[in-house]
């Protein structure tokens, strides 16, 4: 295959009126800006109503950003068109283009954009799942699917149950093993964990095919059982009225394939369709979108970057994007990087030029640095920093084999130590110099450490902490799997049974008491002075008292009492990871308070609510993201996150300590594309066919190259990477960047002699003319100790110092919260009386608890009777009242009609209460609305 010619995209070029336009958007080239600009042009120039605009992206956060950016673009462009005369020059090419018409044309464009801002809520800017949910909802009861189906976000519990059933059935009806010796033995069954893992892979990869490449009876049975589990899970969901996100997608794709009328409706409803991050779609997602609009009169704009396709683990298939682009009538590419300094862009352009990233059609494309950033750079110790800073780790004293020089575990700590030293140097001696000469010191929050997995964060955090540098881990998983969750669980178990000495001792060793084990020896034969008994008694008495607070006042009061009695904040903050631990403790406390509705509960109920926190389908967990761990500090701190989390983000300085690290595929399950059919398959063979194993590993290596590309394109000013010759690092994406392509496809030209690695990299940098933008350095085996960072107080501006807050405005004492009670009271207070003329005195909020029974000596009027008091409440009562209001003629005999409607055997009101209810509803109807 050949890579198509790159045609730069111009925001002012002719807009397509139908068909598909594919726009390739390399990292930092202004993808979101381009989408907003295109939407603005279609509305302003073509007169497309904003309600006919459909923008689909990958995540809710991206959808929210696009919505805000597009609306802001509409509003700002409308203001520019109003303020400037037709033909005026403007630095923004979009505004300059829209000013290029006649006065009437410019005025009409402005009016269209202003109308679009007013009607912006009619635009559909959502995720792929959101779009599919809207399509299904629009079908209502007339569609082939149940509109009342309950969304199941995580079917793990169902999967586990089905796996158990399937394994029991298979055990009761064993499959004979034709290869057994002696004959008659049955094929061994897979473990429940393996079968469940395989089923989850299939369920999260719609359309994937299950195969056993080596055709062994054992593996064929595993494949069959996996298919059976997946089928049963679908059946179980159908029977229980549940539906997963992937079910929604599959149903919409199926519906669109069968229903031509629905396709015509959608193409009429949406005349402009924009698909963002299209490289991350899975086959079913793309099937739904393509079937909806392919061949329709709508124009479809597909925007994506196959070099950033890194989500195969959750079903993303870059081949969908390549197919979509191949079918496009027009192809364009964004070629200017508006994110990074010249040094960063130049370093990658030279080292990664034409690098293949896992597929012949996915190659690194050179981009041009934005002219506006030409004078910006990072300086360290007064000298310009390189765009790419390579630190090579080797140890000449250790050589395990000819292909493995450095021990992997040792290398991770060596890299972490060196990274911390470089961070200290950047914070103490680094500054960003803008084009106008303005200098800004590098702060810890300017630095991001991008890792492959969350488990890589620990050594980095520890090394930074030892040098006095704060750090936070972003997106660090669920708080329910944190250490704080374990301590909360011990506390809850102790609250359930405070008399249980074993549970009390467990709580005693937690953060809530922090008692030494020696002091908890009561009853264990090692308590000669009775100290342990006294300690245990104190713990049990505390648990008893705390449980009483929980039962009488709820979680909030419990937390306040426990935190105060145990001085929890001081105790936990004294730990090395105190801020992280305290944040998690408080986070779980808040979740438990919300889960219990703030009501008093018993310890048993609290335990149930705690167990349900990590269940995204539990009705008490309104937001599944609520359990995601929070940032543990608002101080100036280095940010640590996975490369997947960092995708789409940018940082002044980026450190990549683990790009050299590679891993082999799981021997028991591999996903790859069938070389013959192109289908995505899950190979359950263990071991798999040798040729297919190599093919699968090659695809995984390609994704690692794309992951490397994402990491190396996040920085504004400089990127630091570490090269370690260990394990399979010669297959890594970083190896291709540093050493160039090898002789075999998909390989890097890594030297056989690992000692020569630094020299080889240095020589290649020199040959490519990149000495000015790439620096290569050797990390010494025994690096000198790096001092702790200098005190940042000297670099803090005076305006950043803490000072006593002062109130700089006059409070409006007449302001307050509005409520129906408050408005009624205001009306009574404002009514003229013989004691007070209209407008005199102060109106008080009747909801204000600080007011007494009287105020200002005014006469207190008795409250009017509450007509509905004691008649009923709740949804059923409200529905009955609304039904009555719909059934009567307001111009006729209200009370007679109401009595006839309400005095029926199936009414929710007692017979003797009907007259009161009739009067109450009639009075409601007769009550005027304000001046009406």
pLDDT at 908: 64
Does residue 228 surpass a pLDDT of 80?
A: yes
pLDDT at 1: 47
Does residue 839 surpass a pLDDT of 50?
A: no
The whole-angstrom separation of Cα 127 and Cα 124 is: 10
Location of structure tokens 């993808």: 31
Share of the chain above pLDDT 90, in %: 45
Does residue 34 surpass a pLDDT of 80?
A: yes
The pTM score is 0.77
Share of the chain above pLDDT 70, in %: 84
pLDDT at 696: 84
Q: Which segment of 572-576, 746-750, 805-809 scores lowest on mean pLDDT? A: 805-809
pLDDT at 876: 74
The whole-angstrom separation of Cα 129 and Cα 123 is: 16
Q: Which two tokens stand for residue 140?
A: 């209502």
The architecture of the domain spanning 19-127+271-334 is 3-Layer(aba) Sandwich (3.40)
Does residue 252 surpass a pLDDT of 80?
A: yes
Instruction: Name residue 379's beta-bridge partners.
Output: 384, 431
Over range 231-254, report the average pLDDT.
87
Q: What is the dihedral of CA 882, 884, 886, 890, to 10 degrees?
A: -120
CATH topology of domain 479-627: PCRA; domain 4 (1.10.486)
431 pLDDT tier (thresholds 50, 70, 90): very high
21, 279, 298, 330, 503 from 302: Cα distances, Å: 6, 9, 13, 10, 59
Q: How many CB atoms lie within 10 A of CB 360?
A: 11
Over range 422-449, report the average pLDDT.
94
pLDDT at 620: 44
pLDDT at 295: 80
Q: pLDDT tens digits for 687-720?
A: 778 888 888 888 888 999 999 999 999 999 999 9
The yes or no reply on domain 368-474+635-673+704-779 and CATH 3.40.50.300 is: yes
The end-to-end CA distance of the chain, in Å, is 75
Which of 173-187, 286-300, 610-624 has the highest average model confidence (pLDDT)?
A: 286-300
Give the residue with greater pLDDT, 656 vs 917.
656
Does residue 464 surpass a pLDDT of 50?
A: yes
Q: pLDDT tens digits for 396-411?
A: 555 444 445 677 888 8
Over range 775-791, report the average pLDDT.
72
**Rounded to the nearest 5 degrees, what angle is found at the Cα of 399, between the Cα atoms of 398 and 401?**
155
21 pLDDT tier (thresholds 50, 70, 90): very high
Q: pLDDT tens digits for 515-532?
A: 877 776 654 555 555 566
The DSSP output letter for 353 is T
239, 501, 870, 906 from 911: Cα distances, Å: 42, 58, 14, 11
Q: pLDDT tens digits for 273-282?
A: 999 988 888 8
Does residue 868 surpass a pLDDT of 80?
A: no
pLDDT at 98: 96
Which of 181-185, 803-807, 816-820, 888-892 has the highest average model confidence (pLDDT)?
A: 888-892
The whole-angstrom separation of Cα 482 and Cα 489 is: 11
Residue-wise DSSP of 253-317? HHHHHH-HHHHHHHHHH-SEEEE-SGGG--HHHHHHHHHHHTTSSSEEEEEE-GGG---GGGT--
Over range 535-556, report the average pLDDT.
92
pLDDT at 815: 66
Q: pLDDT tens digits for 577-620?
A: 788 889 999 999 999 999 898 899 999 999 989 988 876 544 44
Interhelix angle 318-326/283-293, rounded to 10 degrees, is 30
Q: Which segment of 381-385, 433-437, 554-558, 812-816 scores lowest on mean pLDDT? A: 812-816
Q: Which segment of 77-81, 159-163, 444-448, 874-878 scores lowest on mean pLDDT? A: 874-878
pLDDT at 856: 40
pLDDT at 626: 75
670 pLDDT tier (thresholds 50, 70, 90): confident
Location of structure tokens 């402009």: 272
The reply to whether 368-474+635-673+704-779 shares the fold of 19-127+271-334 is yes
Sign of torsion, CA 318 319 321 322?
positive
801 pLDDT tier (thresholds 50, 70, 90): low
The whole-angstrom separation of Cα 654 and Cα 717 is: 8
Does residue 932 surpass a pLDDT of 50?
A: no
Q: How many CB atoms lie within 10 A of CB 617?
A: 17
Is residue 44 within 8 Å of residue 98, measured between CB atoms?
Answer: yes
Over range 462-483, report the average pLDDT.
85
Does residue 828 surpass a pLDDT of 50?
A: yes
- The full set of domain ranges for the chain reads 19-127+271-334, 150-177+186-240, 368-474+635-673+704-779, 479-627, 875-926
Give buried/exposed letters for 164-182 (b at 16+ CB in 10 A, else e): eebbeebeeeebebeeeee
**Mean pLDDT, the chain, integer:** 84
pLDDT at 176: 87
Is residue 28 within 8 Å of residue 337, measured between CB atoms?
Answer: yes
């Amino acid at each position: 295959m050949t890579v198509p010619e790159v045609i730069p995209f111009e925001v002012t070029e002719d807009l397509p009126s139908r068909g598909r336009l594919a726009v390739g958007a390399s990292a930092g080239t202004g993808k979101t800006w381009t989408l907003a600009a295109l939407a603005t042009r279609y509305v302003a120039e073509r007169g497309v109503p904003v309600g006919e605009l459909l923008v689909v992206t990958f995540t809710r956060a991206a959808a929210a950003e696009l919505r805000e950016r597009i609306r802001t673009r509409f509003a700002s462009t409308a203001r520019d068109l109003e303020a400037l005369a037709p033909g005026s020059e403007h630095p923004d090419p979009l505004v300059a283009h829209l000013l290029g018409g006649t006065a009437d044309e410019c005025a009409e464009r402005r009016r269209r954009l202003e109308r679009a801002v007013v009607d912006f809520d009619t635009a559909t800017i959502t995720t792929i799942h959101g779009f599919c949910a809207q399509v299904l909802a629009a079908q209502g009861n007339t569609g082939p699917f149940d509109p009342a189906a309950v969304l199941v976000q995580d079917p793990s519990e169902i999967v586990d149950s089905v796996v158990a059933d399937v394994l029991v059935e298979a055990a009761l009806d064993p499959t004979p093993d034709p290869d057994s010796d002696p004959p008659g033995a049955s094929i061994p069954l897979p473990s429940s964990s393996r079968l469940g893992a395989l089923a989850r892979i299939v369920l999260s990869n719609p359309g994937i095919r299950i195969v056993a490449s080596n055709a062994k009876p054992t593996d064929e049975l595993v494949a069959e059982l996996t298919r059976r589990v997946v089928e049963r899970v679908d059946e179980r969901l159908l029977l229980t009225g549940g539906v997963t996100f992937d079910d929604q997608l599959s149903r919409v794709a199926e519906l669109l394939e069968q229903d031509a009328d629905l396709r015509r409706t959608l193409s009429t409803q949406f005349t402009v369709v924009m698909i963002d991050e299209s490289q991350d779609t899975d086959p079913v997602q793309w099937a739904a979108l393509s079937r909806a609009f392919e061949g329709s009169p709508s124009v479809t704009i597909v925007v994506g970057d196959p070099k950033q396709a890194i989500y195969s683990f959750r079903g993303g298939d870059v081949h969908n994007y390549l197919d979509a682009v191949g079918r496009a009538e027009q192809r364009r590419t964004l070629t200017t990087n508006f994110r990074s300094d010249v040094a960063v862009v130049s370093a990658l352009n030279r080292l990664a030029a034409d690098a293949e990233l896992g597929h012949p059609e996915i190659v690194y494309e050179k981009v041009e640095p934005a002219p506006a950033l030409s004078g910006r750079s990072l300086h360290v110790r007064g000298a310009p920093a390189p765009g790419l800073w390579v630190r090579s780790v080797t140890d000449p004293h250790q050589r395990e084999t000819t292909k493995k020089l450095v021990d992997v575990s040792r290398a991770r700590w060596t890299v972490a130590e060196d990274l911390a030293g470089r961070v200290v140097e950047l914070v103490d001696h680094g500054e960003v110099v803008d084009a106008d000469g303005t200098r800004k010191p590098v702060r810890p929050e300017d630095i991001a450490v991008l890792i492959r997995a969350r488990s890589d964060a620990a050594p980095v955090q520890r090394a930074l902490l030892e040098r006095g540098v704060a750090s936070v881990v972003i997106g660090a998983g669920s708080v329910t799997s944190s250490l704080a969750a374990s301590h909360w669980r011990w506390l809850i178990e102790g609250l359930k049974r405070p008399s249980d000495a074993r549970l009390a001792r467990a709580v005693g060793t937690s953060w809530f008491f922090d008692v030494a084990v020696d002091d908890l020896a009561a009853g264990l034969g090692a308590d000669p002075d009775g100290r342990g008994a006294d300690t245990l008694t104190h713990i049990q008495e505390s648990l008893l008292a705390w449980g009483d607070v929980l039962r009488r006042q709820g979680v909030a009061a419990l937390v306040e009492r426990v935190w105060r009695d145990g001085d929890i904040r001081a105790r936990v903050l004294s730990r090395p990871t105190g801020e992280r631990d305290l944040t998690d403790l408080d986070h779980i406390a808040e979740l438990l308070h919300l889960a219990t509705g703030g009501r008093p509960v018993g310890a048993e109920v609290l335990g149930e609510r705690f167990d349900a926190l990590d269940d995204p389908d539990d009705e008490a967990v309104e937001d599944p993201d609520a359990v995601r761990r929070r940032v543990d500090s608002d101080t100036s701190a280095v940010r640590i996150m996975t490369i997947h989390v960092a995708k789409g983000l940018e940082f002044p300085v980026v450190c990549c300590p683990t790009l050299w690290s590679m891993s082999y595929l799981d021997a028991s399950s591999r996903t790859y594309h069938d070389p013959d059919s192109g289908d995505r398959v899950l190979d359950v063979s263990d071991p798999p066919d040798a040729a297919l194993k190599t093919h699968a590993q090659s695809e995984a290596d390609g994704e690692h190259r794309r992951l490397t590309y994402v990491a190396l394109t996040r920085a504004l000013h400089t990127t630091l990477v570490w090269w370690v010759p260990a394990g399979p690092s010669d297959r890594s994406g970083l190896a291709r960047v540093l050493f160039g392509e090898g002789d075999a496809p998909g390989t890097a030209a890594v030297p056989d002699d690992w000692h020569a690695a630094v020299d080889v990299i240095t020589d290649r940098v020199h040959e490519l003319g990149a000495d000015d933008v790439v620096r290569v350095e050797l990390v010494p085996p025994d690096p000198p100790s790096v001092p702790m960072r200098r005190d940042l107080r000297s670099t803090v501006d005076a305006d950043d110092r803490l000072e006593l807050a002062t109130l700089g405005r006059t409070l409006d004492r007449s302001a307050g919260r509005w409520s129906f009670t408050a408005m009624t009271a205001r009306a009574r207070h404002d009514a003229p009386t013989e004691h007070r003329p209209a407008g005199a005195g102060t109106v008080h909020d009747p909801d204000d608890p600080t007011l007494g029974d009287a105020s200002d000596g005014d006469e207190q009027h008795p409250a009017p009777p509450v007509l509905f008091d004691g008649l009923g409440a709740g949804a059923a009562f409200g529905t009955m009242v609304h039904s009555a209001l719909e059934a009567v003629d307001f111009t006729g005999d209200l009370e007679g009609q109401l009595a006839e409607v309400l005095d029926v055997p199936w009414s929710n009101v007692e017979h003797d209460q009907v007259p009161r209810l009739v009067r109450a509803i009639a009075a409601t109807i007769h009550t005027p609305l304000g001046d009406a």
